[in-house]
Amino acid sequence: MGLVAAANLSARLGHCSLALQERIELALSKVGLPTRIPKHLSPESLLKAMGSDKKRLAGQLRFVLLREIGQAFVTDAVPDPAILATLQEVSQ
């Protein structure tokens, strides 16, 4: 689920193509891994919980995003509205 969300957020921010998310999602589905956030977890509550994530640095959330398969990078330049939109889109 997290990998699909990272690919979605990466595409939303213009770092990769939406086709990358589709490719990742298909590969994960083929091996039986979950690709969607369960509906009982609201995007708003997830965003709030992310505020205490261990990857925070100096009060900023850090994200591992993608440019392509094997080309990941870490950034904290991610606006909350983009995070929320991604959580909404990858929820069931």
Separation between Cα atoms, residue 7 and residue 19, nearest integer Å: 9
> Which residue is associated with the tokens 């993608």?
66
Separation between Cα atoms, residue 91 and residue 84, nearest integer Å: 11
Reported as a single tens digit per residue, the pLDDT across 11-68 is: 999 999 999 999 999 999 999 999 999 999 999 899 888 876 655 556 688 999 999 9
The pLDDT of residue 78 is 94
Separation between Cα atoms, residue 3 and residue 32, nearest integer Å: 14
Q: What share of the chain is helix, strand, coil (3-state, %, to 5)?
A: 45, 15, 40
The pLDDT of residue 58 is 64
